[in-house]
């Protein structure tokens, strides 16, 4: 291998002193210049757009996170509101059920009361009808008993009791005596 620098050639030929590695040689200076030029170009035209793009990307990600947090908060609020509405609807349904039960109980009570009133009315009518029929039967019985008694009395006495007025007085007196003896 052949060294490129002049000082390396002297050292390679064997005669001379060893090169000082602290002293820069020409290749090092050229490499340093190219490196500086690359750093300048990168710093001037390449890194600022990359930084700008990275900043924009970070801002976009932050905005998306903020929107996601906002959407999450809105979803939670919506869910809470939905739960509240559901609870209110359940309470309303329970209240309506209770009202319906109360109304049903009132209707049953009213129907029972109406049935009792109707039963009382029917019973009263039946009693009144029985009283009327009893009175009619008693009057009819009085007439029949009276005519039979008058005929029987006429046979016993031997005198005719065919006079209606007389017969009626006799029967009334007989029945009154019977009622007194009871």
Q: Cβ atoms within 10 A of the Cβ of 150, count? A: 21
Q: Which residues contact 85 (CB under 8 A, 6 or more apart)?
A: none
Residue 61 lies in a domain: yes
**Using one digit for the tens of pLDDT, what is the confidence trace for 137-172?**
888 887 787 777 777 777 777 666 666 777 777 777
pLDDT score for 21: 74
Asked whether residue 112 is domain-assigned, the answer is yes
Domain membership of residue 127 (yes or no) is: yes
Average pLDDT, the chain: 84
Q: What is the DSSP letter of 17?
A: P
Least confident range from 3-7, 58-62, 64-68, 119-123: namely 3-7
Asked if residue 6 is part of any domain, the answer here is no
pLDDT band at 9 (very low <50, low <70, confident <90, very high): very low
User: Is the full-model pTM beyond 0.85?
Assistant: no
Within a domain: 60: yes
**Structural domains counted in the chain:** 1
Task: Please give the residue that has the higher pLDDT: either 167 or 114.
Answer: 114
8 is a domain residue: no
Please report whether residue 62 resides in a domain.
Answer: yes
Domain that includes residue 170, residue range = 28-181
What does the block give as tokens for 102? 């109360």
pLDDT at 159: 64
The answer as to whether 58 is a domain residue is yes
Measured from the Cβ of residue 167, the count of other Cβ atoms closer than 10 Å reads 20
- The residues near 174 (Cβ < 8 Å, ≥ 6 apart) are 146, 149
In this prediction, residues 7-30 reach a mean pLDDT of 68
Q: pLDDT tens digit string along 53-96?
A: 999 999 999 999 999 999 999 999 999 999 999 999 999 999 99
The 3-class SS string of 97-127 reads HHHHHHHHHHHHHHHHHHHHHHHHHHHHHHH
**Residue 146 C-beta-side C-alpha neighbours within 13 Å:** 20
């Amino acid at each position: 291998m052949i060294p490129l620098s002049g000082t390396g050639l002297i050292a390679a030929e064997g005669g001379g002193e060893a090169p000082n590695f602290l002293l820069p040689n020409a290749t090092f200076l050229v490499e340093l210049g190219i490196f500086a030029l690359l750093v300048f170009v990168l710093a001037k035209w390449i890194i600022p757009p990359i930084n700008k793009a990275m900043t924009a990307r970070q801002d976009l990600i932050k905005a998306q996170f903020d929107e996601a947090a906002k959407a999450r908060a809105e979803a939670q609020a919506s869910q809470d509101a939905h739960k509240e509405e559901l609870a209110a609807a359940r309470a309303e349904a329970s209240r309506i059920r209770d009202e319906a039960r109360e109304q049903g109980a009132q209707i049953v009570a009213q129907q029972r009361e109406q049935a009792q009133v109707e039963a009382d009315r029917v019973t009263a009518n039946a009693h009144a009808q029985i009283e009327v029929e009893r009175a009619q039967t008693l009057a009819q019985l009085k007439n029949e008993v009276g005519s039979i008694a008058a005929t029987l009395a006429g046979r016993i006495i031997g005198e005719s009791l065919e006079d209606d007025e007389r017969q009626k007085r006799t029967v009334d007196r007989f029945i009154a005596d019977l009622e007194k003896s009871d």
